[in-house]
Amino acid sequence: MEKTFVFGSHTDVGLQREKNEDYFSYFESANGEVFVICDGMGGHVGGATASRLAIDSIREHLQGKYFEEPKEALAQSLQFANQQIFDQAQSNPTLSGMGTTCVILLVRDTQAYYAHVGDSRLYLWHKETLQLLTKDHSVVQQLVDQGTITPEEARSHPNRNELSRAMGVAAVVEVEVSPSPYTIQKDDKFLLCSDGLTAHLTDVALQQVLGSQDNPQEKALQLVAQANQQGGTDNITVQVIDFRHIVPPPNTSRKAWKKLKPWLFPLVIIAILATVFIAQYLREQRIQAEIDQRIADSLAIVATEKRITDSLTSVDKHPDTLIIHRIKKGESLARIGKRYNVAIDSLVDWNGIDEVEKIAVGIPLKIKAKMVYTLEKPQTLEALYEERFKRWENFDVTLKSLRRANSTPTDSLVGVLPKGKKIIIPDLRVIYM
């Protein structure tokens, strides 16, 4: 939670007192920002000593220790100050009987905590309205509470300086701490003051000055000046604090969400596309790996078969021979089966492929043939057939099947074929037509 405040302070001896026994301070601490005014009393030097000692002790306490609970910070620091004053008064005869009032405002984040002892006051100016947050610990306040006198009469009552509670006059003091903190809002103003101000200025006068456009220091000077204009019967001390800005704590998750929101739709689309592309890529990788594996398997088989077929020249020595057919564009299993006189089922079995799987171009298919014959001399397919196969009646091969197995639309076997040319002899023992 961020806040911006400006403040002004001023103290004056007044027109009738010889010395100023008021004391005030502003300081920062781990417990928050602190504004405090003390109005001392008693003896020749006691009053000034008590108010100064009170504030020094409070500062020492609040700056020396962090309190989780601000109310506890206020209660303990004022109690500590009370003890310091009381001890001094006990040990030093010249300070005997000294004491002080105290009003203190502790601002933690945007929460205002306050406490007081005696008749120094804290006012809140909120939305054009002045509110007294503290209630004097004084004899006249008790009379007002009883209904004996009015607040206006209290201002000029002969017992108006008599306190019902003060710091330093006993070993323990009853500190009045605000029951719950006030949440500061933008344009709120606080006024701390000693009774030298309120003895002369009415709430209406205070409200007029606080609500003006002047800066807090000008307001502080004005208030003191007005009290002096009204007689200045006592020391006058004021602190005015204007809260200019209150910034709510940044809700980081909401902030991040707001930042992200315009990007969310594109991000989702990108994520989906990325997923699709990655899936596609992995699929292609897998297919390619399968193809590579099949080629590797086939090449191994081909190498083996080649050794066998190369060594054979006699037809009757040939076992079933594996040939490799690399799938071309537009070829179906049916067409390949017809060419080599093998059933689609057989192709599926030999190659471990799915019949309905789209046949990828370039995939090597293993196909069993009767044999692969290597031409021992240049000759035509017809001549080879006449010379080598026709005469073996048990060797089921026809010229038509030879043409079909060995030629493609782009690679027709016509004319004289070179020596060493491999001729596929399909197995016609079973007819798949």
User: Between 32 and 232, whose beta carbon lies closer to Ca ion?
Assistant: 232
Nearest CB to Ca ion, comparing residues 200 and 339: 200
Nearest approach, Cβ of residue 165 and Ca ion (Å) = 14
| Residue 14 or 426 having the CB closest to Ca ion | 14
Smallest separation, CB 195 to Ca ion (Å): 5
- The residue among 3 and 17 lying less far from Ca ion, judged by its C-beta, is 17
Kindly state the smallest distance separating residue 254's Cβ from Ca ion, in Å: 50
Which residues, at least 6 apart from 253, have a Cβ–Cβ distance to it below 8 Å?
none
Of the candidates 222, 175, 172, the residue with the CA atom closest to the CA atom of residue 201: 222
Q: Which is nearer to Ca ion, 48 or 323 (CB)?
A: 48
Q: Which is nearer to Ca ion, 225 or 301 (CB)?
A: 225
Q: Which residues bind Ca ion (CB under 5 A)?
A: 39, 195, 234
Encode 121-160: b = buried (16+ Cβ within 10 Å), e = exposed: bbbbbeeeebeebbebbbbbbbbbeeeebeeeebbebeeb
In this structure, which amino acid lies at residue 165? R
CB of 101 to Ca ion, least distance (A): 7
Backbone angles phi, psi at 49, to 5 degrees: -65, -45
In this complex, which beta carbon is closest to Ca ion, that of residue 12 or of residue 195? 195
Smallest distance from the beta carbon of 23 to Ca ion, in angstroms?
A: 11
- CB nearer to Ca ion: pick between 195 and 427: 195
Q: How far is the CB of 21 from Ca ion (least distance, A)?
A: 7
Q: In whole angstroms, how close is the CB of 235 to Ca ion at the nearest point?
A: 5
CB of 78 to Ca ion, least distance (A): 18
Pairing of strands 121-126, 189-193: antiparallel
Least Å distance, CB 199 to Ca ion, is: 8
Which residue is closest to Ca ion by CB? 39
CA atoms of 174 and 318, how far apart (whole Å): 118
CB 118 to Ca ion: min, Å: 9
C-beta of 195 vs 305, nearer to Ca ion: 195
Tokens for 106? Answer: 């502790």
Do residues 67 and 163 make contact, with C-beta atoms less than 8 angstroms apart? no
3-state secondary structure the chain: CEEEEEEEEEEECCCCCCCCCEEEEEEEECCEEEEEEEEEECCCCHHHHHHHHHHHHHHHHHHHCCCCCHHHHHHHHHHHHHHHHHHHHHHCHHHCCCEECEEEEEEECCEEEEEEECCCEEEEEECCEEEECCCCCEHHHHHHHHCCCCHHHHCCCCCCCCECCCECCCCCCCCEECCCCEECCCCCEEEEECHHHHCCCCHHHHHHHHCCCCCHHHHHHHHHHHHHHCCCCCCEEEEEEEEEEEECCCCHHHHHHHHHHHHHHHHHHHHHHHHHHHHHHHHHHHHHHHHHHHHHHHHHHHHHHHHHHHHCCCHHHCCCEEEEEECCCCCCHHHHHHHHCCCHHHHHHHHCCCCCCCCCCCCEEEEEECEEEECCCCECHHHHHHHHHCCCCCCCCCHHHHHHHHCECCECCCCCECCCCEEEECCCCCCCC
**54 vs 359, which CB is nearer to Ca ion?**
54
Residue 195 or residue 242: which is nearer to Ca ion going by CB?
A: 195
Minimum distance from residue 97 beta carbon to Ca ion (Å): 16
